Amino acid sequence: MSRENDRVKGKVVAITGASSGIGEATAILLASLGAKAVLGARRTDRLEGVASQIIKAGGEATYLKMDVKRRDDLVRLVNTGCERFGKLDVLISNAGIGPISLLDELRVEDWEAMIDVNLKGFLYGIAAALPVFRRQGFGHFVNVLSTAGLRIVPSQAVYAGTKNAVRTISEGLRQEAGDRLRVTAVSPGFVSTDFAESITNPETRAQIVATREKIAIAPEAIARAIAFAIEQPYEVDVSEIVVRPTAQA
C-alpha cells in the first residue's frame, strides 16, 4: 500500500545490492513512499521479483544486472536512472560482502574480494554519480557501512578495514561536496540478511549465523534509517546513522 512522502515522492534512487536484504527492503520502502527505484545486482531473477513487487504495489522501478566490481556497470546504473526517469537524486551504495576470517588463515583471495566489492565498488559509484550530481546541482550519496568498523574484533580486521575506508572517504566527500550535495553513512549492526553466505570459513560462518538468529534485526530497520536521511530538506545533511540490535554489544 502506498504511503507517499512529499519529500521522497518523485526522487530517483539507484541502489546497488538491491536483490535481497537491506537493498531489497530499502527499494520497497522508498518506492512505497513515492520514489522511483533503479535496482542493480548480479541476480537478475531476484531483481525482477523485487521490481515486480514494487510495480504491483503501484510504484515505479527498473532494474539491470550489474556487478560493482566493474566500473562500467556503475556508470550503466547511474545512466539508467537518468535516461529512464530524467535525473538521479540518490545513489545508495549498499552492495557488500564479508568473508571474514582470522588473518592467520591467509585467505588473501577473500581479502581482495572485500576490497574489490566493499571499497572499489563504492569508489566506482562516486566516479559514476558525482559528475551527474554536479551537473544537476543536487544529489545524495548514501553509503552502507557496518558497526564492524566501530568495534574491531578478531576475524573482522579486513572487513572492518574496508568499511572504515568507506567511512573516511564518505567524510572527505561530504566536506568536498559543498552546499548542494549530501552524504550519509549508515552503519548497520547484526541484520537478518544472507551476509554469512559469503564467509568461507565454516566455523566462523556458523558463529555468525548463530548470533544472527539470536539477536539480528530486520532489514526494514535499516531501510527506515535510510529513508529518514533521504526525506530531510535539502539544507539538512544527516551525516551518519548507526542502527544496531538493542542486544548487540
CATH code of the domain containing 85: 3.40.50.720
**Nearest Cα to Cα of residue 208 among 225, 226, 195:** 195
2 lies in some domain = no
In degrees to the nearest 10, what's the CA dihedral of 58, 64, 65, 68? -110
**Nearest Cα to Cα of residue 187 among 12, 37, 22:** 22
Domain that holds residue 37: 12-243
Q: What is the pLDDT of residue 95?
A: 97
161 lies in some domain = yes
19 lies in some domain = yes
Q: What is the pLDDT of residue 201?
A: 84
pTM: 0.95
180 lies in some domain = yes
Q: What is the pLDDT of residue 249?
A: 83
104 lies in some domain = yes
Q: What is the pLDDT of residue 218?
A: 97
Number of domains in the chain: 1
4 lies in some domain = no
Catalytic residues, by residue number, are 159
Q: In what order do the strands lie in the sheet with 181-188?
A: 60-65, 36-41, 12-16, 90-93, 139-144, 181-188, 240-243
Taking the chain (249 residues) in consecutive chunks of 10 residues, what is each chunk's mean pLDDT? 82 98 98 98 96 98 98 98 98 97 96 98 98 98 97 96 98 97 98 88 89 95 98 96 95
40 lies in some domain = yes
The one-letter amino acid code at 138 reads F
Q: What is the pLDDT of residue 197?
A: 83
Q: What is the pLDDT of residue 2?
A: 52
Whether 53 contacts 30, CB under 8 Å: no
Q: What is the pLDDT of residue 18?
A: 98
142 lies in some domain = yes
